[in-house]
Structure 1
Amino acid sequence: MNIRNIDLNLLHVFVTVYDCKSITLAAKQLHLSQPAVSNAITRLNSTLNMTLFVKNSRFIAPTRQADALYVDVKCCLQKIAFTLSQQSHFDPATSERTFRIATSNYGEIALFTKLVSHLERYAPRIKIIREFFEIDNFSQYLQNGQLDLGLFFDRPVEKGIHKEFLFSDSLVLITGPQQPPLPDNLTTNDIIKFDFISFKNECNNFDFLFSVFNNHPDYHAPRFTVATMWSVFFIVSTTTLVAVSPLLYAKTLEKHLPIKVHTLTDVSPMKLNLYWRDIETQDPGHKWLRELIKNTFINNS
């Protein structure tokens, strides 16, 4: 039999009548009239080419064919109802959903340290996977559903991608003990001739950290570029090289390395944004995670 020929509403009536063993009681439970329930059973009998119930005194009795159908039909209807309810209701305490997030190392440090501890306590079955994609193509992966969220400093977005500001961080200069003492507050002109070390990888495209220098006639691009920001800090702490860094990194590693942090008074802050597909905006699980991430950054401020 072709499933397209069956009205699922008739199956719901069948299960209710089977449970109640009465057209009258089933009609009350379904908020339908008795003739409507009787007509539904008649239609289902005709569609399935079988007799599902027979009259027995004041009640009706299921046939052997009805007995054979009942358990599987009820189970399938319950699964459908559960699946549909999950689309309108989300319980983080019981959900086993997996979310995929692309972010830079900055986003991982700023977010995951607090996010993971919260999930362990309040959403123990939810899985978070940090994905690695080329940053210039991350909106493509959002569009095709390979990513749930992107967490990056300001990036251009394509149609269908939502962008929301989360957090702002300052850029600072870091120096090591081999560098002659410098004031706590500096300007671009003060540091333009220094020898910088930079870093870059697939999710940490921080070339724009130096964009403020590019038009300055005395600026020369860094001679050294490494893969991670952590290497930058260790190199600065043992050489005369300097680096530009987000303040969050600098304050974290200042506790462990002999570095000094200098404020750059004429450099605009970086804006960290959350990106997702517009069609995910009303998804309850997606919305819950976005709110959790936003609250995490509010508490970081």
Structure 2
Amino acid sequence: MNESHSLARVDLNLFRIFVTVAQRGSTGAAAEELHLTQSAVSHALGRLRQQLGEPVLVRQGRHLVLTPHGRAILPKVQQALTQLQGCMGQGEGFDPRHSDLTFRLGFRDILEAMVLPRWMQELEQMGSPLSFTSSRVRGNQMAQRLLAGELDVAVDLERPVAAGIESCHLRDEPLVLLLGPKHPAFGQESFSQADYQASHHVLVTLQAEERAFVDQRMTGLQGERRVRLHCETYFAAAQVVAHTQLLLTMPATYGTHLASLLGLEVRPLPFDCSPLPIGLYWRRSSSEQAGLVWLRERLQQALAN
């Protein structure tokens, strides 16, 4: 009887605030994301502490960290909130014109350039209040960040999925070669594998296992590329190519876009190379949420085109 009365008085918003603070590490960052004042977030944590009978977060330096009790209940709270959100979305569909959700995307610079400009233009035209947060995610951190609720979806090379993660194939992306006007082969019809291997290259830095995954698909390449420069993003690498004799090997769709912007040539690779399989990943517990169903379908449409 007392337990039922206690549960009836629980404010679910307190748990939502708890999860956000746990993810962001401070009441200030959580307040900004939730569109609340910092004092309101602090007050909510105090009320949650009173209702639970012990703290879930404690201050450590400039950050708030989970207590043992907080670590124990966080996954259960996240799962419960996800299930409740899914129930609310059932049968109602999702209308981006009337939703103020914020979607968290695990994108690399390629997808940010290919997808976000068109999405934001379309949403602005329809008067949608939707917002997005895009961040670069490394493959070995993807499952952890999805399961923790830090990301709603992620797009990456296809890889085995962890428990609790769903995935689907998005597309096969071929690799192409970009060269600039200072390269001796610019404007020339022929470009051989010998030319490729004699040239110097700019390489976009990947994790070791990703680099191996890409290199393994270059079945026709004999020997290694002569890499002069490592970059973090393809846009920076393409700008280097525009002003030097260096070559850049990169995914075709974004490569074609950058070539049109920077006056570069796009060439097929002068050897056999299998395309890169690209996958979409999300939490299994969010599979039926109407907003995230819309988001996944929208991503599939964007990349299919």
TM over 0.5: yes
**Within the alignment, does 1:4 sit opposite 2:8 as a pair?**
no
For the pair shown, the structure with the greater C-alpha radius of gyration is 1
Write the letter of the residue equivalent to 2:88: Q
| Post-superposition offset of 1:120 | 2.3
Structure with more of its chain in helix, by fraction = 2
Number of residue equivalences: 224
Write the distance in 2 (CA, Å) between the matches of 1:208 and 1:6: 54
Is 2:96 the partner of 1:115?
no
Taking structure 1 as the reference length, the TM-score comes to: 0.64
Within the alignment, does 1:276 sit opposite 2:282 as a pair?
Answer: yes
CA contact (8 A) 2:218 2:272 kept: no
**1:270 and 1:254 mapped to 2: Cα distance?**
20
Runs of at least 5 residues in structure 2 that lack an aligned partner in the other structure: 9-83
Aligned pairs for 1:189-228 within 5 A: 191-200=196-205, 208-213=213-218, 218-228=223-233
Identity in percent: 25
In the TM superposition, residue 170 of structure 1 has moved relative to its aligned partner by: 1.7
Residue number in structure 1 paired with 2:300 = 294
Q: Confirm or deny: 8 A CA contact 2:185 2:191 kept in the other structure.
A: no
Aligned partner of 2:288: which letter? Q
Name stretches of at least 5 consecutive residues in structure 1 with no aligned partner. Answer: 9-81
| TM-score, length-scaled by structure 2 | 0.63
Q: CA deviation at 1:133?
A: 3.4
Q: Cα–Cα, structure 1 residues 110 and 134, in superposed 2: closer, same or farther, change >3 Å?
A: same
Q: Work out the CA distance in 2 between the residues paired with 1:194 and 1:247.
A: 20
Instruction: After TM superposition, give the deviation of residue 100 of structure 1 in Å.
Output: 0.5
The answer to whether 1:176 aligns with 2:180 is yes
Shift of 1:130: 0.7
Which residue is equivalent to 1:257?
262
- Give the aligned partner of residue 130 of structure 1: 134
Kindly indicate whether the alpha-carbon contact (under 8 Å) linking 2:104 and 2:150 is maintained by their aligned counterparts in 1: yes
Matched residue type, 1:249: Y
1:114/1:296 contact within 8 Å kept: no
Residue deviations 1:125-151, cap 9 Å, x none?
222111333332111111121110001
Q: Which residue does 1:66 correspond to in 2? A: none
Whichever residue aligns with residue 128 of structure 1, its letter is F
Say if 1:85 and 1:159 are closer, same or farther in 2 by CA, change over 3 A: closer
The one-letter code of the counterpart of 1:294 is Q
Describe the SS at the equivalent of 1:219: coil
Structure 2: distance between partners of 1:179 and 1:83: 55
Amino acid at match of 2:4: R
